[in-house]
Amino acid sequence: MVFTPSPQLIEQLQEIVGELTTPDEGEKYGAIPAAIVGLTNSDKTVFLNGGGVRSIKDEESVQLEDQMSLYSCTKSMTALAALKLYEDGKLKLDEPASTYLPLVEHIGLIDPGTVNKQGEFTQQPRKPKSPVKVRDLFLHTSGLSYNFLSKDYYYLSKKDKGETMLNPSEKYFTNDKIPLIYEPGSKWLYGHSTDVLGLVVSYVAGKPLGEYLKEVLFDPIGMTSTTFHLKSTDNVLKPHFRRKDLSIIASSASLNLDPKLDMGGQGAIGTVSDYLRFLRVWLNYGYSPDTNTRVLKEETVKFAVKNHLPPGVKVAFDIPKAPKIDDGFSLTGNAVNERPMFTGRPAGSLYWGGLANLYYWIDLENGIAGFWASQILPPADPITASTYFRWEASVYSEIKSLKKKGKL
């Protein structure tokens, strides 16, 4: 039986979204400038709601079909593109990534802490014992990091500002910017792995990542508003930043309308409606009910959604005060819940999110997926995250009640 939220739950979900996006009396915007939130079962979108303003500067009201930067929600779409090449026999998981993308062979390994504040190596990069495999790029076990998670990367980024992670060319993917900081396959480390996977896809497919995704995903399932290149930002939610005093300012980060590369780990722009269509493909093991189209074979997705991390390796963030996660990671660009969540989400579900407090989950057991999309920095904003989890918990409260009554 397919889950459909009751009118009472829909009202409750709307109220939770409104708590954050509705301004108090005398204020111009709410606790966050904007949010667009959706819930889907395996057949269709069953809840779509939003509120707030596109930008605190112009105060134009949010529309449900507004676009926004998807940040790391891009990763799962890139993983699907790579899985399509794997399925077609054009990409092998255990092949060195350099077989398809030669520049990977020239990215060396350093010990953490061997880049000084001037961005110079105190110890020269060396060749890793094992090559970076395609599988490592899927799983974030390549040894690559991000400059906001690694001091070494941060110092390297300050030395040459001509190439930045926000709008890089292929020249960015070198020792001088992104050396390996762990042996490939030895540790889970969040970083540029999916960006490099996107380059692999581009090289194997013989076209930019965005063009290949348009061919194998966007057009086949009707994702008409998802792209890596924009002509205008008129209908786009703008990023904002919450300061320590909880006040909100417009973010200095600008949206690249025409980036040098289609970045597989962060570069897509789209709508919540489109992304829910995409989540339905995972819920249906590669099939789109929206267009009656199979994107991936069922057996490919059943294989991909499992935890593929090596024994003893778990998802974990090397940053102070980061919560202990200890989850698995799949070949779908998503983590795998190793145990039930406090919200009611069951073990075996997939999840991930994006930098500006975007969150989604894919519950294969109950056939539902949810997407909370906002554009507020820094990541893991307590006000946004706690409200998102309460929103998700409300969904599972009704599911639990229906199951208890034998109605689901």
pLDDT digits (tens, 9 = 90+) for 336-395: 999 999 999 999 999 999 999 999 999 999 999 999 999 999 999 999 999 999 999 999
What is the per-residue pLDDT for 162? 76
- Is residue 288 within 8 A of residue 277, CB to CB? The reply is yes
Name the percent of the chain lying above pLDDT 90: 90
What is the per-residue pLDDT for 257? 84
Whether residue 321 is predicted with pLDDT greater than 90 in this model: the reply is no
pLDDT band of residue 322 (cuts 50, 70, 90) is low
Mean pLDDT across the stretch 257-275?
96
- Residue 128: asked if its preceding bond is cis (omega within 30°), the reply is no
What is the β-pairing status of strands 240-242 and 376-377?
A: parallel
Residues assigned a catalytic role: 72, 75, 190
What is the per-residue pLDDT for 284? 99
Query: Per DSSP, what are the bridge partners of residue 48?
Result: 38
Q: Which two tokens stand for residue 387?
A: 């409200």
pLDDT band of residue 244 (cuts 50, 70, 90) is very high
What is the per-residue pLDDT for 256? 80
- Is residue 369 within 8 A of residue 283, CB to CB? The reply is yes
Whether residue 323 is predicted with pLDDT greater than 90 in this model: the reply is no
pLDDT band of residue 190 (cuts 50, 70, 90) is very high
Mean pLDDT across the stretch 49-55?
97
What is the per-residue pLDDT for 252? 77
Question: Whole-number mean pLDDT of the chain?
Answer: 96
Whether residue 324 is predicted with pLDDT greater than 80 in this model: the reply is no
pLDDT band of residue 260 (cuts 50, 70, 90) is very high
- Overall fold of domain 7-71+237-311+332-405: Beta-lactamase (3.40.710)
